[in-house]
Amino acid sequence: MTSPSDEAASRAAAAANYVDIQHHSGDAEFAGRLRGWLADRLPDGSDPQVGPLDTTGANGMSSDTVLFDATWSSADGTLRPERHRHHLVLRTAPDADATPVFPRYDLEAQFATLAGVAENSAVPVPKVWWCETDPEVLGRPFFVMSRASGHVPPDVLPYTFGDNWVADGTEGDRAAMQRSMVEVLAGIHGIDDAASRFSRLRLPTGGPTALARHLADTTDWYTWSCRDSSRSLLVESALERLTDTLPDDPGPTVLCWGDARIGNVVFDGFDPVGVLDWENAVLGPREIDVMWLTYSHTVFQDLATGLGAKGLPRFLRLDDVAATYQDLTGHVLVNLDWHALFAATRWAIVFLRTGAREAAVTGRPLPDDGDTLLHNRPSLERLLAR
């Protein structure tokens, strides 16, 4: 049995290996330019004011996030219009020199996807306000959305290491959180005619099915990554296996969130109130999201147990999640072994990119063997051995 002192030691060991490699932006000049941009968006006389900027490095490794408050006057024609405070989030693509995780960041597509999900489902996504594609305004394209109030399960250190509200909750609390996440997926996947409503998410090449195109896009992502990341023989083996065993009939095409994990959700208690991070939204079979939800927990669980922590072994197990999903949607999930390997491979490429970013920030050389950068190496090797 793991003791509290052992749990604390495992958290300390993990923290010692963490390097803050988020790219942070935001200063007085930035705030002033943001205020001027808001004034152009709002009616005359709104007189927007922007509060202090707050960048967050707790979760996520792809886009930059700036939290800020803005106040402006209502345009009601009165002599003393009422001023309203808005809690907002600004999302930008990462700087091209900051070793980004992905080769492209289509902020317009993210903005449109959030708006489409809000319009066509009850999934709790933030209200989107504006999307700015001109990089001259703030140095990079960005969009603005409302900020959900609540708690986000931490990635750094992962919630499986304990000492956070997810780990401190009861098994019943986590069971409720798990079911609520499946309900979110069911709501996203239940949007009718997703291929038409979200047509800009259709990948252009790679095969006759949405899943084939997603795999081809992942292979291109890995090839792009190798320009400034180490090669990984495990990833290359996995991509070859995935290509050879690609399902002929992957199932119905739906809107997939693409990054379905609890670390991308704001919770009020254990209920989701803000579903975030849509840069990987894609059209494809629903198994993409269900497997990402469960495998992402596997990654963090393995990190915890590898350093001596107990983790949360009864949380987000695939059999439980799949049974709940079938109960809610009537859909029987298929090709799960293939999708498990696909999820593991995409996670591995993420780790190659974050490893490259850490090397760029610290000045340490990249290893010749990219497999040493894969924090999910044990589970990827297990899946390849099946």
Would you call 155 a catalytic residue per the annotation? no
- Tell me which of 155, 259, 289, 302 is the catalytic residue: 259
Phi-psi region of 200 (alpha: psi -120 to 50; beta: other; left: phi over 0): alpha
Catalytic residues: 259
